[in-house]
């Protein structure tokens, strides 16, 4: 899936080892809860305020969702940025926003390679879907790690999360990607249901995967014990 | 509607499909289905109104017979095509504008307790309602009232759509109503339905209430409906139209009998031989009686239906029809068993012939009787006529039974044997793979770690997903896309892996690019058009302002394949120049380059890019392809000869293998390319095939499985990108005649096979050694060589196993779906393609093994 591509876009750079803000399970819980509520509220707004839904107007709904979800994610994850002494909050937020289009490109390319339809008709759907996917997978890592190649490599290529914030980035992102992969499976079936159209079932899959990933991340942090990163690891 | 008001022609037919569609998409229980049914209700009511308004004696529709029938039933989910009762049984509504048919209809099927004739309209809902489905809805209303005792039990046809809608499930059962008739009453058994209804509404303790609509309509006993025949008949005097709902089974009754019955009615010849099952039907007595009642009787007295002369005349008529019917069926059976390869068995034929002879004999006897009867009383022949009908019916029924067993049933034993062979072959593959693996382990202990790797599991999962997806017909239809999806997934994982190792990233990206091109081509190819026009369309969709017929775009579309071919030639030339190929391989590769040049010239000539003098045009047709074939054959022969006479030099075996592979591929490619025509895309692909092999070679870090899986997926994608699909109209018959104008079965079959399976089966098999050859560069030469051949052996085995697995699942799917409506359109071609592909692959693997494996 798409996760491998992300690394290409981030220039490798040296990482300064430094202390990391510790994240307690409570903070994890709050963060994931707010992210989940953000998604839910986005759906609520789409349904009740603009009276659009994912099946009928996928592009508009997806745009609403990512417009609401991306700032929440960026603002929240920027709090837990790496070496906060050298990197201000504003900078973390800025790089989060900067990462949004790049992640969208990576996700869109991945989707197209996997068989997403190309054409003017599908363009808005693909664009908004990939922006949403970027907000779910790419942006948190960008906010937290910036352009640190080794960290990206560790999270996405090696899948070796070490401390809490790693889990909080890694699991939901992988969940979203794997979820959208599975979400693509009903598409070829000949049921002729409207939700089998291109971005709809995939979006459902990715959101479901994202939620599962968040629950898993919280669960791991809660039950697996809080492993703090040892200095100089 | 307008045609109903106009002068009617002899027969009119209107076919609708939307109800079937609604059932398929939304299911039987759904709201759209109900809406559709109600829409048809309305339409039918209008039609019936028009017909009734003109059905008076002398009216336009005095003699009209309205038949409304489905061609099949459906399950609750809306599927059909299977063998279950609810799928093969369908209902038919027949309406004649004449006075009711005589009651001797009832006498005909006395022997069977399950009558074709289900109910008349008066039986169902009283006489106050018009409309075809009012019978249905009236009945359903009645049941509703029955189960809700407090409700005022009034028949309100078409006024409670909710009830009607919510009882659609009941409607299905209604069509399966079991009806028995005694001399005095009709009994409709709806025990199951009523009990279900009661259970659903939690009214199991309720008591029956009597409907006020009709005294004769008694709902007694909870499970039976009894209607006095006398009252029905007396009341039906006032009914102009007479409704019959006939329950017919498709396989042995409905369509089988329907065709002959209607043709008997219309006075047309019975259908003979056009479709098997239509030729052996029996003229349905009830339908025939209903209709002949219209046409025969001008002054028909309903109150005296037992009028002997009428009855006898009708029976006589019916026996005549049955006689012709039986004679024709017998003749058909004779002709069939004389001409068919696998006909009926002898004893079956004897049995049928005996029945027919018996019936004929009896008929002669009856005729004699009848001749006597002309002089005297005619009543005596009634019994013999009945007997005659029974005899003919027996004969026809036995023929139908025989035909059903022979024509509509599959040989389960053979299917089981074939499936067993596939399973055994898979098992054998696995065993040998494990054994080879063990051998590898023994010779190279260094590799013993991590036997169950991620790659192994992943490739197993991929193969399993692909195999299981064949169980769904949607996935069979979209097989190319699904294979591409899986291939892209492996490509993504591969990219991830290479990023993890920080090497070969570029190759992985190139591989992904290649996959996306493949996907694009598959999507374009799906539109069942040549790639040329697809390419044009694509460029048009990108640049909509450009005129489609503009010569510039034609020119571009023509020249792109040639450019691709030039690029390929350049690569081959480079490989010669780098002296990768030596000796005979060099000549072979140069032969390939020559062939490619010739192909380019051929295309240029065909596409009228260059205006050539007439002299040259004379050559253009056949010579160039033939030269190319000749070069290909010569290359193959020389390769084989070299293989036979080469001396074994252990030192440079690795290069030799590469040379051989390149030589083999290049020997095959021109033939395949020219056959595949101008689909320049996959020449690009062929180029990238090598590129891919470059990736594959160095990049495989886990066990072979993942790369082999990738390879086989790649082969599948190639099949679809080259414009083929798994149907017989997907064969590109034009390819068989490139270079030859006249037809020769064997030659053309070979060419067609090479075209169809060339890129997807032949080339990948010969290209497989690329996967292994660059992999291991450690150890001493001798050991390495042995290890290499073990690996190659294993790679071929795994490739065979992957193919066998998918084919096995295709077989399972086809076996399960053998009753499916689309079995000949979808499953059987898929089965044939897969099995031929598997056979060809196995054969090619044998050839390749002979070719590659030197004496160890």
pLDDT band at A151 (very low <50, low <70, confident <90, very high): confident
SS3 B274: coil
Percent of the residues in chain B that have a pLDDT greater than 90, as a whole number: 3
User: CB–CB of B579/B656 below 8 Å?
Assistant: no
Q: How far apart are CA B493 and CA B461, in angstroms?
A: 13
Q: Residues of A with CB below 8 A from B484's CB?
A: 115
How many contiguous H segments (helices) and E segments (strands) does chain B have? 34, 8
Residue of B nearest to A190 (CA): B474
Residues in chain A with CB shorter than 8 Å from the CB of B544 are: none
pLDDT: is B677 or A29 the higher one?
A29
Q: What is the DSSP string of B146-165?
A: HH-TTS-----TTT-HHHHH
The whole-number average pLDDT for the span B831-850 is: 89
Residue B574: count of CB within 10 angstroms of its CB: 10
Cβ distance B520 to A117 less than 8 Å, yes or no, reads: no
**B493–A3: do the CB atoms touch at under 8 Å?**
no
pLDDT at residue B169 in the model: 31
Local confidence band at A70 (pLDDT 50, 70, 90 cut-offs): very high
Taking only the tens place, the pLDDT of each residue in B90-126 is 555 666 665 444 433 333 333 222 223 232 222 222 2
- Could you tell me how many CB contacts below 8 A there are between chain A and chain B? 60
B505 with A8: Cβ contact below 8 A: yes
List beta partners, residue B225: B219
Of A164-173, B1-10, B29-38, the least confident: B1-10
Q: Is B307 in contact with B282 (CB distance < 8 Å)?
A: no
| Cα-only R_g, chain B | 36
CA B745 to chain centre: 27
- Pick B496's closest partner by Cβ from A115, A157, A191: A157
Question: What mean pLDDT do residues B219-245 have?
Answer: 30
Rounded distance, CA B608 to CA A6, Å? 48
Confidence check: pLDDT of A211 > 90 = yes
At residue A222, the pLDDT reads 82
What's the gap in Å between the CA of B309 and the closest CA on chain A? 58
ipTM for the whole complex: 0.85
pLDDT score of B341 more than 70? no
Kindly report the nearest CA distance between residue A68 and chain B, in angstroms. 30
pLDDT tens for residues B823-833?
777 888 888 89
Q: Is B64 helix (H, G, I), strand (E, B) or coil?
A: coil
The predicted structure's pLDDT at residue B250: 30
Question: Tens digit of pLDDT for each residue in B524-544?
Answer: 655 444 444 444 444 444 444
Is residue B67 over pLDDT 80? no
**Residue B467's pLDDT is what?**
86
- Cβ B496–A112 below 8 Å, yes or no? no
The average pLDDT across B506-523 equals: 76
**Interval B724-746: pLDDT, tens:** 677 776 676 766 676 677 777 78
Q: Say whether pLDDT at A231 is over 60.
A: no
Please, which pLDDT band fits residue B513 given cuts at 50, 70 and 90?
A: confident
- CB–CB of B489 and A3 under 8 A? no
pLDDT score of B288: 60
At a CB cut-off of 8 Å and minimum separation 6, what does B583 contact?
B642, B659
pLDDT of residue B85: 56
* Prediction pTM value: 0.66
CB B124 within 8 A of CB B253: no
């Amino acid at each position: 899936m798409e996760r491998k591509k992300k690394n290409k876009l981030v220039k490798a750079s040296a990482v300064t080892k430094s202390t990391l803000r510790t994240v307690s399970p409570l903070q994890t819980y709050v963060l994931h809860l707010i992210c989940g509520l953000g998604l839910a509220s986005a759906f609520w707004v789409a349904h009740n305020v603009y009276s659009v839904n994912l099946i009928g107007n996928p592009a508009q709904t997806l745009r609403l969702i990512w417009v609401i979800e991306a700032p929440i994610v960026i603002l929240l994850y920027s709090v837990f940025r790496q070496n906060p002494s050298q990197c201000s909050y504003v900078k973390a937020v800025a790089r989060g926003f900067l990462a949004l289009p790049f992640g969208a490109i990576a996700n869109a390319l991945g989707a197209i390679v996997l068989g997403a339809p190309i054409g003017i008709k599908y363009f808005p759907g693909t664009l908004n879907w990939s922006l949403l996917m970027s907000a779910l997978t790419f942006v948190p890592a960008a906010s937290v790690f910036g352009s640190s190649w080794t960290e990206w490599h560790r999270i996405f290529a090696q899948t070796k999360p070490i401390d809490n914030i790693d889990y909080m980035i890694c699991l939901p992102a992988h969940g979203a990607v794997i979820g959208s992969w599975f979400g693509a499976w009903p598409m070829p079936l000949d049921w002729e249901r409207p939700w089998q159209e291109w971005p709809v079932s995939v979006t459902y899959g990715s959101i479901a995967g994202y939620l599962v990933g968040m629950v898993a991340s919280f669960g791991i942090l809660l039950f697996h014990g809080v492993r703090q990163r040892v200095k100089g690891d | 509607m307008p045609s109903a008001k106009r002068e009617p022609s002899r027969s009119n037919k209107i076919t609708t499909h939307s109800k079937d569609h609604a059932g398929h998409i939304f299911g039987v229980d759904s709201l759209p289905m109900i809406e559709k049914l109600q829409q048809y209700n309305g339409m039918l009511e209008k039609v019936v109104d028009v017909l009734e308004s003109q059905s008076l004696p002398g009216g336009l529709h005095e003699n009209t017979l309205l038949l409304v029938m489905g061609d099949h039933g459906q399950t609750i989910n809306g599927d059909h095509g299977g063998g279950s009762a609810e799928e093969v049984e369908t209902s038919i509504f027949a309406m004649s504008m004449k006075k009711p048919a005589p009651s001797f209809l009832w006498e005909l099927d006395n022997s069977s307790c399950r009558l074709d004739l289900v109910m008349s309209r008066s039986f169902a809902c009283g006489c106050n309602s018009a409309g075809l489905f009012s019978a249905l809805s009236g009945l359903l209303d009645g049941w509703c009232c029955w189960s809700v005792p407090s409700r005022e039990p009034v028949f309100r046809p078409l006024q409670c759509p909710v009830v009607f809608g919510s009882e659609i499930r009941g409607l299905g059962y209604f069509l399966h109503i079991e009806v028995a008739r005694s001399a005095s009453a009709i009994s409709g058994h709806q025990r199951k339905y009523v009990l279900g209804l009661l259970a659903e509404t939690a009214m199991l303790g309720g008591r029956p209430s009597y409907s006020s609509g009709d005294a004769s309509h008694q709902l007694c006993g909870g499970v039976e409906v009894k209607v006095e025949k006398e009252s029905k008949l007396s009341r039906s005097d006032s009914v102009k139209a007479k409704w019959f709902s006939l329950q017919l089974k498709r396989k042995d009754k409905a369509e089988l009998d329907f065709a002959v019955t209607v043709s008997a009615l219309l006075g047309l010849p019975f259908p003979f031989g056009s479709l098997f099952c239509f030729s052996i039907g029996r003229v349905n007595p009830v339908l025939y009686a209903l209709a002949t009642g219209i046409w025969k009787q001008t002054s028909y007295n309903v109150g005296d239906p037992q009028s002997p002369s009428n009855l006898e005349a009708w029976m006589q008529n019916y026996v005549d029809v049955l006689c012709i019917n039986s004679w024709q069926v017998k003749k058909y059976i004779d002709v069939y068993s004389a001409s068919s390869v696998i006909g009926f068995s002898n004893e079956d034929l004897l049995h049928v012939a005996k029945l027919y002879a018996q019936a004929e004999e009896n008929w002669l006897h009856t005729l004699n009787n009848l001749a006597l009867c002309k002089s005297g009383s005619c009543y005596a022949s009634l019994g013999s006529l009945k007997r005659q009908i029974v005899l003919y019916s027996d004969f026809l029924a036995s023929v139908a039974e025989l035909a059903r067993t022979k024509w509509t049933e599959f040989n389960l034993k053979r299917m089981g044997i074939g499936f067993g062979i596939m399973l055994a072959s898979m098992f054998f593959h696995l065993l040998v793979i494990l054994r080879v693996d063990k051998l590898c382990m023994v010779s190279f202990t260094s590799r013993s770690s991590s036997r169950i790797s991620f790659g192994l599991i992943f490739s197993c999962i991929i193969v399993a997903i692909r195999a299981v997806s064949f169980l769904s017909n949607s996935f069979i239809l979209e097989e190319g896309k699904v294979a591409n999806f899986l291939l892209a997934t492996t490509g993504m994982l591969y990219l991830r892996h290479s990023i993890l190792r920080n090497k070969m990233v570029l190759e992985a990206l190139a591989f992904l690019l290649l996959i996306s091109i493949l996907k694009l081509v598959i999507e374009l190819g799906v539109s069942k058009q040549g790639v040329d026009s697809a390419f044009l369309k694509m460029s048009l969709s990108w640049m909509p302002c450009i005129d489609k017929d503009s010569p510039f775009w034609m020119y571009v579309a023509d020249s792109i394949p040639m450019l691709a071919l030039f690029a390929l030639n350049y690569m081959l030339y480079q490989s010669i120049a780098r002296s990768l190929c030596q000796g005979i391989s060099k000549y072979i590769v140069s032969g390939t380059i020559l062939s490619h040049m010739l192909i380019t010239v051929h295309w240029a000539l065909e596409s009228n890019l260059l205006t050539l003098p007439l002299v040259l045009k004379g050559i253009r047709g056949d010579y160039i392809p033939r030269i190319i074939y000749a070069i290909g054959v010569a290359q193959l022969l020389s390769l084989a000869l070299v293989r036979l006479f080469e001396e074994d030099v252990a030192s440079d075996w690795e290069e030799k293998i590469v040379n051989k592979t390149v030589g083999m591929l290049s020997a095959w490619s021109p033939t395949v390319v020219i056959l595949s025509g101008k689909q320049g895309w996959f020449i690009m692909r062929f180029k990238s095939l090598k590129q891919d092999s470059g990736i594959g070679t160095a990049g495989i870090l886990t066990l072979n499985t993942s790369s082999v899986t990738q390879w086989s997926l790649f082969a599948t994608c190639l099949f679809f990108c080259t414009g083929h699909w798994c149907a017989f109209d997907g064969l590109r018959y034009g390819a068989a005649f490139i270079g030859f104008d006249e037809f020769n079965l064997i030659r053309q079959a070979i060419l067609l096979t090479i075209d169809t399976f060339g890129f997807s089966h032949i080339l990948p098999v010969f290209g497989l050694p690329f996967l292994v050859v660059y992999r291991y560069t450690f150890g001493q030469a001798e050991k390495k060589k042995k290890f290499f051949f073990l690996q190659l052996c294993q790679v071929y085995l795994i490739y065979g196993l992957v193919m066998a697995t998918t084919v096995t699942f295709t077989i399972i799917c086809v076996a399960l779906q053998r009753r499916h409506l689309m079995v000949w359109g979808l499953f059987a071609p898929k089965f044939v393609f897969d099995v031929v592909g598997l056979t060809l692959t196995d054969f090619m693997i044998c050839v390749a093994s002979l070719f590659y494996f030197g004496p160890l």
